[in-house]
Structure 1
Amino acid sequence: MDQTAFSPATTAEPSADTGVTVIVCSSCRDETGSDARPHPGEILGDRVREIAHGEGIAVRQLECLGNCKRRLSAAMLRENCWSYVFGDLTVDNAPDLVAGAKLFSTSQDGMLPWRGRPDSLKRGLVARIPPASLLKDFS
């Protein structure tokens, strides 16, 4: 993996209050498919970080979430909770990712509530992944 894909200097640590991490794919391109730098995914990640500053939300950028057919992508994680993957985002959806992370941080059942979720996070939902604690051993 390219070591420039993740830089600790460009992250914000989650507070004990939320524990939510937003991961933005920095290698994602928009509908034009241009190789111009910075990639739209990098721009989205930078905007999310700026908006989330001081909100207790960790923001990380990572090359390739493997969701290339759905263009700009991001994931939302919270320990012992469901994880979410989103696609079909634009650089203008940065506030939506922060709003979603705030909403997720208040969840009592470990799921990102549908009600109040920004439309881009409703339409763009790719996957919801359960926490390991919910998985049963069928062997």
Structure 2
Amino acid sequence: MTDTDWIERAYQVFNGARPDHFTDFRHCDECAEHDQTLIGHDRDSIGLDQLGHPSWDPLCFCSAEGKRYYMPALIRLTLNSLYDEPYLDQFLFHLADFGNDNALLVLCNRQQRQFITGFLSYLIDQHSEQLDRINLADELLTVYQIWSGD
């Protein structure tokens, strides 16, 4: 599969409904602001302007359902930015969240988990030099182990 194939396949595998809200928006102003950012964009329109800042990342406050909804966008951002401003580090952070107790991992069905492990394998196979260059190969392998159940 090509990069484009992975993005298209992500839309098929992660085809669930869009949540009404993505965060506990009543919790505080920051949660409300992140919720509005996520509500204001769909899987096609959200980009690095909204998600590309590790210190102000709405997905850190997002529910597992919201992350699952946005997975096609996260795959797209990861692939499209791999050689410029890599989003991969943030993507791996969200996939690794709390290891095997990761709410996203628990929420995803078998097909979705297999897709994620397949995608991570693809990155290793097709982009290994870049992974080494940006020092994320070890992190990617750790996340692969979490998602594959190893």
TM > 0.5 between the two?
no
Higher-helix-fraction structure: 2
More relative contact order in 1 or in 2 (CA 8 Å, sep 6+)?
Answer: 1
Higher-strand-fraction structure: 1
When the two structures are superposed, what TM-score results if normalisation uses the length of structure 2?
0.29
When the two structures are superposed, what TM-score results if normalisation uses the length of structure 1?
0.31
